[in-house]
Amino acid sequence: MSDPAFNVFGELWVSLASLLRSYTAAHGLNGNRQATVELGEERITVRHGEQWMQLDREGSQVTWKREDGRGGRLELTEAGRLRLRDPRSENPDLGHPYPADGEKDLGHPDLFDGADEEEMDVAAEQWARELMR
């Protein structure tokens, strides 16, 4: 018997990839540019020229990284939102692996704008806009 929560997160994962495809296509229309979006059960990779973003999922947990070394941890919620995850809260003895010294805080620099959660479609649009610059 499969776990219903796991199925929800799998469906949300596919939806996130679809949103990234749609928004990168929309942002590429004016410049006749395209991005590739590769979807796997545990990884989404988006590429446009030299820029890329990789999202890795384990259940509801998502780790993202960019070509410039930025990265962070997020969590898919059953409501279809993305929630910031602070690795310090999981094990305070490990310190803060994200970000490296001098980098921005967890999550995407513009994505959460001080909030702890964001709608998945808003996050996908902002990621696509940045990738397609």
Q: Kindly give the residue spans of alpha helices, DSSP state H, lying in the chain.
A: 4-28, 87-90, 120-131
Phi and psi angles of residue 19, each rounded to the nearest 5 degrees, phi first: -65, -40
pLDDT at 90: 44
Model pTM score: 0.79
Q: How far apart are the first and last CA of the chain?
A: 45
Per-residue pLDDT tens over the stretch 90-128? 433 333 344 444 433 434 545 666 668 999 999 999 999
Q: What is the pLDDT of residue 114?
A: 63
So what's the pLDDT on residue 31? 84
pLDDT digits (tens, 9 = 90+) for 11-63: 999 999 999 999 999 999 988 889 999 999 999 999 999 999 999 999 999 99
Adjacent-strand bridge partners of 75: 61, 83
Find, among 132, 133, 113, the residue nearest to 123 by Cα: 113
Q: Can you tell me which residue has the tokens 């495809």?
A: 21
Q: Which residue has the higher pLDDT, 84 or 113?
A: 84
User: Quick one: pLDDT band at residue 10, thresholds 50, 70, 90?
Assistant: very high
117 φ/ψ angles, rounded to the nearest 5 degrees: -135, 155
* R_g over Cα of the chain: 15
Angstrom distance (rounded) from CA 4 to CA 24: 30
d(CA 133, CA 125) in angstroms, rounded, equals 12
Residue 6 pLDDT > 90:
no
